[in-house]
Chains A and B, each alone.
Chain A
């Protein structure tokens, strides 16, 4: 029963997170400005980190931790690059 609750709540949490990702993707698709799209991508990365963590719980496996760690550590690099491009027209000067 308890396990059942856990299973379901993980599922619900994941669905919530995926919906959150959907919101982010909406911004990526819709814009209207480039900064909105970048913001969407950044949000998508954050949400994906959490999705991976919930997935770890769901499968009781810590093997997916590294992927989440990498997103947290390096996911910002691409968004930072995009922001730099918007501000300076060039990523590396």
Chain B
């Protein structure tokens, strides 16, 4: 079998299986189990196929280009060390799958379970078979992710959700640190390729970035392997289904951190920093875990803390910077996987058959499930380090290392043997508790279920594992020896030390320590009987050191309270501060840029001051300031003053040679005024109510600040304007436009030629803006809902109507009809004249001031005038403007003019002009730009009318709301939230004009 296929299958097959299992129907538990088991067995078969190469010290390798330009390739790599781990993953995986088939209940969506499990298995395979640092981080995070899904599998349980979240938060955080560490490590080495990295140990250890890299990587490894002080997530992960715990916390997830430390041991270990960090984390975890395990009442909790403790043991071994310790660590990894997996499964069986895992409630199960009890007894003995079982051998190796350790921290070295013995004694105590508590003693009372032996296939995996414990314990060198040797050689390279795997090394100090620990453990357990019987939760002394609570609090504080406070402080949801910031930042940015390099003098001499314009601007400034002053309480005044400012702007345009601008400005001015007035009707009344004194002071302060900002912005803008006005760049685009406007653009009004020809594309865009805005305004107004206090017909109208009604000889509406009689007549007569002027502006725009936009606005004003003086219904009964049609046609005309050029093989918007010499009529200019301008005209008319009419029609709503008349089509239900308006004497008259 080619390496590539083998490696890809080993990693890929679990994922494929996961997807397949995920697609199975919810009740297909057997199919899913078979599929999962098959995948695991295929994995084992693949490993078996690879064994010969790996055992000979060879490395299987396959590389695929992924992101070669950033040095990231997908590399799969299997050496002896990876092989060993892959074996654990597949082997334990297969057993767990078998176990789970019987463990999971029929109500659970089992295919999803196996899908997650397989995906997790694939991720694990990915980590151990990665030949690339980034890829390790990649699969590493995947293991976090799928373990999260597995732990939270029973997500209807709050404990499962919390446990899963905590596990993910901790391990993913670690994973991100690891990612950063891998980046730094890759930067140090200059490659992410694991082979290159493993060959660069000296460079790495000597590099100034070694320590940051080490810390980041260890943060990843220690969190994942539940080392102190990150250990607390692991017990909470016990909310997972037991097969998950058996898998994740014996052979796989928690071993990933260990795997990584061992993998990088040759290049990163051997320094004081390594010793300090790793071994102190290990020893703390070892003791703490073992101590806490004694006091757990939950079987799985006990196993969880014992796992923590054993992981601490392995970490400590890795931290000792000794090759022999490294071998011991690898050996203990295997042993721990076997006995811990079997113990978890046993605990699961107990839970499954009795309905509880609480040691306080369990008792005497030995009589109900004797076979299971014996299996558990053996596994627990292995965990306790009882001779002739596998746990004993690796523990002996650990004791030996503890005795011979050297390091930069003498006190630690001195207490090491003591600590090892104490921890070992603790482990004897909790093992005893597990066995004695559950299986011995009087018959249990009040169990949820009547206990009995599990199905034999459910026990089978436990049997296999326990058998392994015994065989390895009896014949270590013959059974596990070659594999351990292979793994150690792969991990350590040629520098693998001599070691001997034997049950009996003579009566030496480690043995003494073992015996001491066994005795002490038993004594301890006996002494604690009374205390444990009380059933107090948590371990004494460290009960207050509840890392979980701390973590939850910290998380809530950091990710919730602090974040919310910070968001409130750093951000805002109010508009005023946001605008203030935009203005301030803009002023500061411009000011900073200008002051960075103080601008020199301009190259134009300012012209002398014309008193007329100066006076005009005095007026303009007065209007602007007045508008600013009045806009709050005297909206109408502000609007009028705004009109004054607009007029001054318009005069300025005239003054400085921009007739087109003046024209357009004026027209826009008129339409805007009408528009704003239309809006004014819906705004609330405003009264100048004095607030409290404190509020007044605050308001005044705020206003002062805003005044400061306004003055700064104004001054800055004035300075900028002056500076830019007084300089002219050496080369101006304008020169070309002036030169070519007539000769090549066919028009004498250069501004218009620019608008419809040189930069016609801008104009096309600009009318699209107008169209889009009109559509938006229309859509918004269709959903417009007036505020309750402005839904009524305005007071003036009610008063005038009431007056008319009160007069016997008058009809309702006479007042307004009389008032408008003459203005509306004149306005109607003006209508054709204004339209004519619009045409005039449109047709001459190319040569003289005018153009489509000005013409369109003029025509719109002609219409608005009729609406104003005739009333909406009156006008619409006579003139049907279809604004959307105008808009559509206008836009199509303008765009069509552009497209027309394609027919002549020219780019979009290429213009054409000629003077047609017609009989009688003489020379007539024919420019495609005119068609374009007609399009502009049509769109402007349509867009303006659409907005204005939509806005104006809202007034009808008020009339309808106050007096729904059947004659008004379409009749509308009154707004839900609007209060019923006060009854008016008779329906209000909406039709105006002279009928």
Please report A residues at the B interface, Cβ cutoff 8 Å: 11, 14-15, 18-19, 21-22, 25, 28-29, 31, 34, 37-38, 40-41, 44-45, 48, 51-52, 55, 63-64, 66-67, 69-71, 73-75, 77-78, 80-82, 84-93
Contact B619 A78 (CB under 8 A): no
> What residues on A are CB-neighbors of B655 within 8 Å?
55
Contact A34 B636 (CB under 8 A): yes
Contact B659 A89 (CB under 8 A): no
**What would be 29 A-B contacts, judged by CB atoms less than 8 Å apart?**
A15-B615, A21-B619, A28-B641, A29-B622, A29-B623, A34-B637, A37-B636, A37-B640, A40-B640, A41-B643, A41-B644, A51-B651, A66-B663, A66-B850, A67-B654, A67-B662, A69-B837, A70-B667, A70-B837, A78-B674, A81-B674, A82-B673, A84-B868, A85-B636, A88-B797, A90-B794, A91-B681, A91-B952, A93-B955
Most buried by A among B639, B644, B800, B841: B644
A55 to chain B, nearest CB (A): 6
> What residues on B are CB-neighbors of A77 within 8 Å?
670, 674, 861, 864-865, 868
Q: From known contacts A29-B641, A37-B636, A48-B647, infer whether A80 and B662 are also in contact, taking CB-CB under 8 Å.
A: no
> What residues on A are CB-neighbors of B833 within 8 Å?
73
Most buried by A among B795, B849, B948: B849
CB of B616 within 8 A of chain A?
yes
Contact A93 B990 (CB under 8 A): yes
CB of B626 within 8 A of chain A?
yes
Contact A11 B612 (CB under 8 A): yes
CB of B816 within 8 A of chain A?
yes
A77 to chain B, nearest CB (A): 5
Contact A92 B823 (CB under 8 A): no
Chain A residue at minimal CB-CB distance from B630: A29
Q: How far is the CA of A55 from the CA of B616 in the complex (A)?
A: 13
A23 to chain B, nearest CB (A): 10
> What residues on A are CB-neighbors of B794 within 8 Å?
88-90
Q: How far is the CA of A38 from the CA of B639 in the complex (A)?
A: 10
B991 to chain A, nearest CB (A): 9
Contact A67 B663 (CB under 8 A): yes
SS class of chain B's interface: helix, strand, loop or mixed?
Answer: helix
Cross-interface CB contact of A74 among B666, B677, B797, B823, cutoff 8 Å: B666
Q: How far is the CA of A36 from the CA of B153 in the complex (A)?
A: 77
Given A88-B797, A92-B952, 9 other A-B residues pairs in contact with their CB atoms under 8 A: A18-B615, A28-B641, A28-B644, A48-B651, A67-B659, A73-B830, A73-B837, A82-B639, A92-B868
Contact A78 B643 (CB under 8 A): yes
Cross-interface CB contact of B677 among A29, A51, A91, cutoff 8 Å: A91
Contact B636 A90 (CB under 8 A): no
Most buried by B among A45, A89, A92: A92
Contact A18 B612 (CB under 8 A): yes
Cross-interface CB contact of A28 among B637, B674, B796, B951, cutoff 8 Å: B637
CB of B219 within 8 A of chain A?
no
CB of B775 within 8 A of chain A?
no
Chain A residue at minimal CB-CB distance from B618: A22
Chain B residue at minimal CB-CB distance from A34: B636
> What residues on B are CB-neighbors of A19 within 8 Å?
615
Q: Mark B653-688, 1 if CB is under 8 A from A, else 0.
A: 011000100110011011001100110110000000
Contact A78 B669 (CB under 8 A): yes
Q: From known contacts A70-B858, A78-B673, infer whether A89 and B640 are also in contact, taking CB-CB under 8 Å.
A: no
Chain A residue at minimal CB-CB distance from B614: A18
> What residues on B are CB-neighbors of A21 within 8 Å?
616, 619
Chain B residue at minimal CB-CB distance from A39: B640
> What residues on B are CB-neighbors of A11 within 8 Å?
611-612
Q: How far is the CA of A41 from the CA of B673 in the complex (A)?
A: 12
Q: Mark B795-834, 1 if CB is under 8 A from A, else 0.
A: 1110010000000000000001001000100000010011
Q: From known contacts A69-B837, A78-B669, A88-B797, infer whether A25 and B623 are also in contact, taking CB-CB under 8 Å.
A: yes
CB of B138 within 8 A of chain A?
no
Q: How far is the CA of A52 from the CA of B644 in the complex (A)?
A: 15
Q: From known contacts A63-B659, A64-B662, A90-B955, infer whether A18 and B864 are also in contact, taking CB-CB under 8 Å.
A: no
> What residues on A are CB-neighbors of B650 within 8 Å?
48, 67
Q: How far is the CA of A31 from the CA of B948 in the complex (A)?
A: 29
Contact B612 A66 (CB under 8 A): no
Q: Nearest 9 pairs between A and B by C-beta?
A: A89-B794, A92-B952, A78-B673, A18-B615, A67-B662, A89-B796, A14-B612, A63-B659, A91-B677
> What residues on B are CB-neighbors of A86 within 8 Å?
636, 796
Q: How far is the CA of A84 from the CA of B990 in the complex (A)?
A: 15
> What residues on B are CB-neighbors of A28 within 8 Å?
623, 626, 637, 640-641, 644
Q: How far is the CA of A48 from the CA of B663 in the complex (A)?
A: 13
Chain B residue at minimal CB-CB distance from A93: B871
Most buried by B among A14, A15, A86: A14
Contact B872 A55 (CB under 8 A): no
> What residues on A are CB-neighbors of B680 within 8 Å?
85
Contact A38 B612 (CB under 8 A): no
> What residues on B are CB-neighbors of A69 within 8 Å?
837
Q: How far is the CA of A69 from the CA of B850 in the complex (A)?
A: 12
Contact B670 A74 (CB under 8 A): yes
Contact B858 A74 (CB under 8 A): yes
Chain B residue at minimal CB-CB distance from A31: B637
> What residues on A are CB-neighbors of B834 within 8 Å?
73-74
Q: How far is the CA of A75 from the CA of B647 in the complex (A)?
A: 10
Q: How far is the CA of A18 from the CA of B682 in the complex (A)?
A: 36
A52 to chain B, nearest CB (A): 6
> What residues on A are CB-neighbors of B861 within 8 Å?
74, 77
Q: How far is the CA of A23 from the CA of B667 in the complex (A)?
A: 24
CB of B271 within 8 A of chain A?
no
Q: From known contacts A22-B615, A37-B637, A63-B849, infer whether A81 and B677 are also in contact, taking CB-CB under 8 Å.
A: yes
B624 to chain A, nearest CB (A): 11
Q: How far is the CA of A48 from the CA of B651 in the complex (A)?
A: 8
> What residues on B are CB-neighbors of A44 within 8 Å?
643-644, 647
CB of B320 within 8 A of chain A?
no
Contact B616 A64 (CB under 8 A): no
Cross-interface CB contact of A38 among B640, B797, B800, B837, cutoff 8 Å: B640
CB of B867 within 8 A of chain A?
yes
Q: How far is the CA of A84 from the CA of B655 in the complex (A)?
A: 33
CB of B869 within 8 A of chain A?
yes
CB of B127 within 8 A of chain A?
no
Most buried by B among A19, A73, A74: A74
Q: From known contacts A15-B611, A55-B655, A66-B849, infer whether A85 and B677 are also in contact, taking CB-CB under 8 Å.
A: yes
Contact B872 A87 (CB under 8 A): no
> What residues on B are CB-neighbors of A92 within 8 Å?
678, 864, 867-868, 871-872, 948, 951-952, 955
Q: From known contacts A64-B654, A77-B864, infer whether A89 and B666 are also in contact, taking CB-CB under 8 Å.
A: no
Contact B640 A71 (CB under 8 A): no
Chain A residue at minimal CB-CB distance from B641: A28
CB of B848 within 8 A of chain A?
yes
> What residues on B are CB-neighbors of A71 within 8 Å?
666
CB of B992 within 8 A of chain A?
yes
Cross-interface CB contact of A67 among B618, B623, B666, B951, cutoff 8 Å: B666
A91 to chain B, nearest CB (A): 5
B236 to chain A, nearest CB (A): 67
A81 to chain B, nearest CB (A): 5
Most buried by A among B659, B848, B850: B659
Contact A87 B643 (CB under 8 A): no
Q: Mark B599-620, 1 if CB is under 8 A from A, else 0.
A: 0000000000001100110110
Q: How far is the CA of A78 from the CA of B678 in the complex (A)?
A: 11
Query: For chain B residues 849-880, which have a beta carbon within 8 Å of chain A?
Result: 849-850, 858, 861, 864-865, 867-869, 871-872
A89 to chain B, nearest CB (A): 3
Q: How far is the CA of A21 from the CA of B619 in the complex (A)?
A: 8
A73 to chain B, nearest CB (A): 6
Chain B residue at minimal CB-CB distance from A83: B823
B646 to chain A, nearest CB (A): 10
Chain A residue at minimal CB-CB distance from B840: A66
Chain B residue at minimal CB-CB distance from A18: B615
Q: From known contacts A25-B623, A80-B823, A92-B871, infer whether A41 and B612 are also in contact, taking CB-CB under 8 Å.
A: no
